[in-house]
A and B are shown apart, each in its own frame.
Chain A
Amino acid sequence: MTDPYPEHMMESVRRVNATRDERKDMEFDRIPEEESDELLRQWHPDYRKSDPAFFRELAIGPAKGKVVPTEVANVLEAYPRVDPADVDLSEVEYSTELLVIGTGGAGLSAILWANNEGIAMEDILVSTALRLGDSNSKMSQGGIQACDGEDDSPMIHWLDVLSGGHWTNDRPLARDLVEKGPLAIKWLESLGATFDKEQDGDMQLLMAGGASRKRIHSCKDYTGLELTRVLMDEALSRDVNTLEFCPTVSLLTDGSGAVAGGLLWNMETEEYHVVRSKATVIATGGFGRLHVAGFPTTNHYAATCDGLVSAYRVGADIIHMQSTQYHPTGAAYPEQIVGLLVTEKCRSMGAQLVNDDGEAFIYPLEPRDVESAAELKEIGEGRGITTPTGQDGIWLDTPMIDEKRGEGALEDGLAAIYRLFTRFGIDPTEYPVLVHPTLHYQNGGIAINRETQVVKPDGSPIENLFASGETTGGVHGDNRLMGNSWLEIVVFGRKSGISAAKHAKKAKMPKKSDLSLAHLDRYSKELEKAGIETERRTPIILPNYLGQNTMKATGYGKEKPFKRRLDLFA
């Protein structure tokens, strides 16, 4: 059989194979906090706040003065893509109780719970950039946390969430997250989601990085696919009213600053749809396709920070935006799958991170930022492996999984990973796979309160506007643990659906004559006043990978260009 890697990489593979036996029963010490702090400071991109290639202070808007990744500053300090002069707001095409923007886990949960709360399905309108359900939620593999294990409790889960978030989390939001966890699982189970269970129905709970109890519920390594398609099927069975390929490119306001609906853009017919609504839920997900700090990403095609940009322009505060999650294990070889997720479940099932010499260099289940920093350190100090296209990486010793758990464990429990690599001739039960940190999750986002109302910097809510899911910030603080994002979208998606429904029941439908885009004009004036001259128009809906951008060279931190080529939006 031919080797799956080029010879110089095979040499390293042989070193990894040679040390597997002695690593098998290796006990890892969790690294002390001072040491992990030092690792993060030296190697994690989040800690380079003073470098303008990475971070910039916002010059305008409600969060003016806050430091955010440069790519995020770029989309916020940009002119609206909608020219109010081009839009006829007197042509109201849809009047609806509730407008839901985005159809990942949070949007779908919001739709179903708004309906449960008494809003008829025909009175809910859904705007989505791609198809119903296309989202980061669907791509999630590892699982969902909830504190229903025997030795677990909401308090222990809450402590883990805070530890993961470096103690910066919004404490009441984190409390809501953990206390509603078991209920979220029960709901999904009642909708017919298939979880990995024991014969008697008990959940097979797994450990997440940074957690102190086994708390991960999984559906093989297609957890997000299974849960999303169950929610999609339920929404379709209730006859959900979705406008696909019609992203919301701006919110509408009334004279008082309250949100009055959304302006949708049909990407195929290139026309606007004016939607007025009593309540609006933003559930547009994250920003991976901004390729923050030049990293490849696990995110889906429309993860472009669009909902956050729209919210910011009507006065929403943003929080924890300075923190980005780089998943420690994105595929680094072969070239065709660079950046795609290799789930943390691999490590939770026993795979170790190993350097060029075959040495395991870190406990495999540290929090994600610490794991990523440890990899960047190994690579930065010359103990990484470089592929023929110039991509650096570290081995993830996947054959260890069968070694520890018996033959067939990987193929059975990690079908997606098995498929991902065997498609390209690499059998992960026989050979380690090469990984590199990849941009995975937007830790911060739109500020919300416990009712999921979008709030201004002074904490007061923006009327009629709600948000949930990855586009929001606060729950996870400065870092999210595995499995808490799916928990967040079910818990807060549900909450946003219920809150918005209750609100819509007592709110009045905005008058046609009050519908306005005046906030966009004000925003443009603010940009001009701040002296920002730019061609940028946002929100970006889809990244531009055309032509040479498909293969464009970019760089981690830009000042040190990657030797490899990487897709990047222009």
Chain B
Amino acid sequence: MSQNQEVEKKDRPESEMATIYIMGKPYEVPSELTIMQAQEYAGYRLIRGVGCRGGYCGACTTIYRKKDDYKLYIDLACQTKVEDGMYLVQLPFVPARKPEWDLDELEATSEEVIRIFPEITRCVSCNTCTQACPQNLEPMRAIQAIRRGDLEKAADLSFDCISCGACSARCPAEITHYHVFQLVRRLYGKYIQPKAEHVTQRVSEIEEGQYDDQMDELIELPEDRIRELFLDVRAGNEFSLDQNGGEE
């Protein structure tokens, strides 16, 4: 390992090295890497604890402490730079109960959410979940919003949740926040947010076959004619198969 590292250092004069501890073992890695890249650089073949590598999937929740610092940090390995003296361990996942539900049979009320997830009434507002969130969300406020009956607020506060489970790992009331929030958002989307009437309208028009004749004709046209039609609609005109364009 040391020989490789020397070659690396010579090749990469701009890079400073940092010492990190993975599962207790020290490794010297370039300091501009993310935690995830540093693990790979150190030779760890990742199967679990890695997914999108872009901060969306929540697979790479990592907890760490720093030298001479009592605090326990929780971050995404793919979105966090290594620091010298970092001691880290990865959580493959946080086990959680995911009840099954049929959205069509539910009501969009906090009572319904509490019936499915009674443990949210045990929230002691300790805010540990919020402190654990690598997305800087406020899960505690969202749980409290549900208890107040404000599902819209809870849906909004939890919208950027990537279900990494860090909150659930820390919660003394053993709430699985991300499943609770998923239910709340679906209830909000289905029952509280008003429906888009223009979508339903267009679906009916299509299903009634209003566009069939024009589409039948359009897809058989030669390419140059299709190009003309495109330029015409791009200029803001209505679609018309009439050679002269414009309205019939």
Contacts and interface: CB of A to CB of B under 8 A. Distances in A.
Interface of A: 30, 130-131, 133-135, 138-139, 146-151, 153-156, 158-160, 162-163, 167, 171-172, 175, 179, 182-183, 185-186, 189-195, 197, 199-203, 212-213, 219-220, 222, 224-226, 229-230, 233-234, 236-239, 245, 267-268, 298, 300-301, 334-337, 340-341, 388-389, 415-416, 419-420, 423-424, 542, 544-551, 565, 567
Contacts of B223: 167
Which of B4, B52, B195 is packed against the most chain A CB atoms within 10 Å?
B52
Contacts of A213: 233
Nearest to A188: B189
B230 interface: yes
Contacts of A146: 199
Nearest to B163: A229
A171 B32 contact: no
Interface in B57-103: 57, 59, 79-81, 93, 98, 100-103
Interface in B199-229: 199-203, 206-207, 211, 214-215, 218-219, 223, 226-227, 229
A234 B185 CA distance: 13
B34 A336 contact: yes
Nearest to A341: B54
Contacts of B230: 159-160, 162-163, 212
A335 B30 CA distance: 12
Contact of B51 (A131, A153, A298): A131
A405 B136 CA distance: 25
A245 B194 contact: no
Which of A130, A149, A195, A219 is packed against the most chain B CB atoms within 10 Å?
A130
B40 A300 contact: no
B168 interface: no
B53 interface: yes
B148 interface: no
A190 B190 contact: yes
B203 A149 contact: no
Contact of B103 (A159, A192, A337, A567): A192
A550 B33 contact: yes
A498 to B, nearest CB: 16
B122 interface: no
Interface string B5-44: 0001000101000000000000000101110010011011
B123 interface: no
Q: Which 4 A-B pairs have the closest CB atoms?
A: A201-B194, A192-B186, A192-B190, A192-B189
Contacts of A220: 159-160
Nearest to B52: A300
A567 B37 contact: yes
A238 B193 contact: no
B145 interface: no
Contacts of B50: 130, 301
B74 to A, nearest CB: 14
A237 B100 contact: yes
A175 B40 contact: no
Given A191-B189, A388-B14, 7 more contacts: A134-B51, A139-B56, A193-B189, A202-B198, A213-B233, A237-B101, A551-B33
Contacts of B115: none
Interface in B142-164: 155, 159-160, 162-163
